[in-house]
Amino acid sequence: MSVRKIIIGNQQVDAKEVELPQAQLLFYSENPRIYTILQDLGESPTQPEIEKQMKAHDHVKTLKDSIKANGGLLEPIIVRRNVVLEGNSRLAAYRILASEDPIKWGKIKCNVLPDDTSDDVVTSLLGTLHLVGKTPWSPYEQAGFLVRRIEKSRKPIDAIAQELGIRVSDAKLSIEVYKEMMAADDMNPTKWSYYFELLKNRDIRKYDENNPTMEFKQKLIEKIKNDEVDRAADIRKYGTLAKSKGENSVEAITDVLNGDITIDAAVELVSNETKLASLNAKVETFFNFINKEQVALKENRGDVELNFTLKKIKTLIDTMLG
């Protein structure tokens, strides 16, 4: 047995490098990746339920083949009090291998933390590995981890963010998105990017605040839930509608939310209107300039270059008006 010194935050933890019987180890249900996988099993899944669910996942089966090809783990799992804090997928892969050859795959390489290692240190460790480290959790998994960590520790978000080495603004937005998904009863990890785009879009937020009776945001959430938004990036198109000031913008928003026209058709409608409004504004600006400077133009109409330019303008206008 050897000792590996692990630096976690500003602390040093002495972990024992040993091989333990994998059958004695427990899955860590609070691990965000496992938590996401086990959502349908309720709040307190049993170890056999966790194992069965984990073994069924494709990434575990792929990992099993990799471990078998390498003759074991390249990176030990991390354990505290027989609970696998880091490496639950590897444990599941070992369980599959052990069902084929219990002798060869009976023990697994572990870094065992002292029993008195605090939850704060564990949180910092997992954050270092998966929020800012080389094997990141998905944004959905990260957000779930943050929400549960705050609820369990009762620490302010600023302290949690510092503990994990991430920006407070990023942590706050992640939590807001996760809670929005909870409120919408749409805890589908593949929908994360849709809600992320929705909540970070200031134009949608502002429009919803200024036009509460339209229920723009809520109706858009329903479209996300019902798979009526093709891509997360399309949420930005709804933002384009929200910031449009044209006469047809309200009608376009109403029609697209009701499913009467596509989002692309609605954007084209308001874009054409915006272009026309811009053109009108430029013409108006030119008219105001001519009107303001007409005295100076009359006084200098003998100037050859100026007179030539004014004639070109007149010719152009005559041509446009037929």
Q: Any residues with CB less than 8 A from the CB of 259 and at least 6 apart, and which? A: 228
Assess whether pLDDT exceeds 80 at residue 296: no
pLDDT value at residue 42: 63
Q: Any residues with CB less than 8 A from the CB of 129 and at least 6 apart, and which? A: 86, 135
pLDDT value at residue 225: 93
The predicted model gives 121-149 an average pLDDT of 75
pLDDT value at residue 227: 93
Give pLDDT tens digits for 222-281.
999 999 999 999 999 999 888 887 667 788 888 888 888 888 888 887 775 555 455 555
Contact 153, 193 (CB under 8 A): no
Give pLDDT tens digits for 162-213.
777 788 898 899 999 999 999 999 988 899 999 999 999 999 999 999 989 8
pLDDT value at residue 273: 53
φ, ψ at 58 (rounded to 5°): -60, -40
Least Cα distance to 178 among 30, 36, 54 occurs for 36
Long-range contacts of 77-80 (CB under 8 A, 24+ apart): 77/25, 77/108, 77/109, 77/110, 77/111, 78/15, 78/110, 78/111, 78/113, 78/125, 79/20, 79/25, 79/110, 79/111, 79/112, 79/113, 80/112, 80/113, 80/114, 80/115, 80/117, 80/122
Assess whether pLDDT exceeds 60 at residue 315: yes
- List the strands of the sheet with 26-27, edge to edge: 2-8, 11-21, 107-112, 77-80, 83-86, 26-27
pLDDT value at residue 272: 56
Rounded distance between C-alpha atoms, residue 155 and residue 162, angstroms: 11
pLDDT value at residue 133: 53
pLDDT above 70 covers a percentage of the chain that reads 86
Least Cα distance to 52 among 41, 44, 43 occurs for 41
pLDDT value at residue 179: 93
pLDDT value at residue 322: 65
Rounded distance between C-alpha atoms, residue 50 and residue 38, angstroms: 7
pLDDT band at 289 (very low <50, low <70, confident <90, very high): confident
Assess whether pLDDT exceeds 70 at residue 68: yes
Round the average pLDDT of the chain to a whole number and report it: 82
Assess whether pLDDT exceeds 70 at residue 219: yes
Q: Name the pTM for this structure.
A: 0.64
The predicted model gives 48-74 an average pLDDT of 88
Contact 197, 170 (CB under 8 A): no
pLDDT band at 294 (very low <50, low <70, confident <90, very high): confident
pLDDT value at residue 181: 93
Rounded distance between C-alpha atoms, residue 270 and residue 251, angstroms: 10
Q: Which DSSP string corresponds to 28-89?
A: -TTSHHHHHHTGGG-SS--HHHHHHHHHTSHHHHHHHHHHHHHTS-SS-EEEETTEEEE-HH
Give pLDDT tens digits for 99-129.
999 999 999 999 899 888 888 778 777 777 6
Rounded distance between C-alpha atoms, residue 43 and residue 150, angstroms: 17
Rounded distance between C-alpha atoms, residue 259 and residue 244, angstroms: 19
pLDDT value at residue 91: 93
pLDDT value at residue 9: 60
pLDDT value at residue 43: 67
Hey, what are 302's tokens?
């003998």
pLDDT value at residue 186: 92
The predicted model gives 63-67 an average pLDDT of 90
Write down how long the chain is.
322
